[in-house]
């Protein structure tokens, strides 16, 4: 948990340093603007799905930790948007019936969906978003940090959660008690 918090703080500090120290015109190319908008849209979709999982199964890890990271990611992207004169939109996906309906029957299945989402997120940054902002070092720094969080933090947490049949507890900040089988393959109430 402390590593997750430190990671989020580090991303924030990197983004703040990048935004504050890199001088760039206050306008974005159409491609860069599209990339920033796609990045925040992706963060919002992830946040909404993780919120729907939490609403269904309770404050379960890794969803309860990763949703906070997604919110921090959106905040960092909001700072980029503000720097370039763009308005940060509200999350249009929270409580979206389609996203709520996509929550699977078991927590293990939700973890598998988390794995798939983080792989897609990593690939989105690698193949589409990073190339579109190659002329914007400040945005590259933020995008790189967000991409790395997906690959090296979130993906691993979801793989552990869904791939080994073990959960990380129903975290109330009282430690990471592991409990085998409880809640992971139990159908939704």
pLDDT confidence band for 155 (50 / 70 / 90): confident
CA–CA gap between residue 160 and residue 113 (Å, rounded): 13
Q: Which of 10, 50, 38 is nearest to 128 (CA)?
A: 38
CA–CA gap between residue 104 and residue 99 (Å, rounded): 10
Q: Which residues pair with 166 in a beta bridge?
A: 180
CA quadruple 97, 170, 12, 118: dihedral sign: negative
Task: Provide the pLDDT for residue 172.
Answer: 34
- At 58, is the secondary structure helix, strand, or coil? coil
Task: Provide the pLDDT for residue 167.
Answer: 43
pLDDT confidence band for 189 (50 / 70 / 90): very low
CA–CA gap between residue 126 and residue 124 (Å, rounded): 6
Task: Provide the pLDDT for residue 35.
Answer: 96
58 and 42 Cβ atoms separated by less than 8 Å? no
CA–CA gap between residue 120 and residue 93 (Å, rounded): 18
114 and 154 Cβ atoms separated by less than 8 Å? yes
**Domain boundaries 2-19+29-180, CATH class:** mainly alpha
Task: Provide the pLDDT for residue 95.
Answer: 87
Total residue count of the chain as it appears in this document: 189
Q: What are the domain boundaries of the chain?
A: 2-19+29-180
Does 168 score more than 60 pLDDT? no
pLDDT confidence band for 113 (50 / 70 / 90): very high
Does 134 score more than 70 pLDDT? yes
139 and 15 Cβ atoms separated by less than 8 Å? no
User: Mean pLDDT over residues 32-53, rounded?
Assistant: 94
Q: How does the average pLDDT of the chain come out, rounded? A: 78
């Amino acid at each position: 948990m402390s590593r997750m918090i430190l990671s989020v703080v580090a991303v924030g500090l990197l983004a703040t340093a990048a935004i504050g120290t890199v001088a760039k015109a206050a306008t974005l190319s159409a491609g860069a603007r599209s990339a920033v908008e796609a990045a925040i849209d992706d963060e919002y979709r992830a946040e909404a799905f993780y919120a729907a999982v939490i609403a269904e199964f309770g404050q379960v890890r890794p969803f309860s930790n990763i949703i906070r990271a997604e919110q921090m990611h959106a905040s960092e992207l909001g700072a980029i948007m503000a720097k370039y004169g763009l308005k940060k939109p509200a999350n249009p996906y929270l409580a979206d019936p389609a996203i709520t309906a996509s929550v699977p029957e078991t927590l293990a299945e939700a973890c598998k969906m988390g794995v798939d989402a983080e792989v897609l997120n990593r690939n989105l940054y690698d193949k589409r978003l990073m190339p579109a902002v190659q002329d914007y070092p400040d945005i590259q720094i933020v995008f790189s940090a967000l991409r790395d969080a997906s690959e090296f933090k979130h993906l691993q947490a979801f793989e552990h959660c869904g791939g080994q049949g073990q959960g990380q507890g129903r975290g109330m900040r009282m430690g990471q008690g592991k409990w085998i089988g409880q809640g992971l393959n139990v159908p939704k109430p």
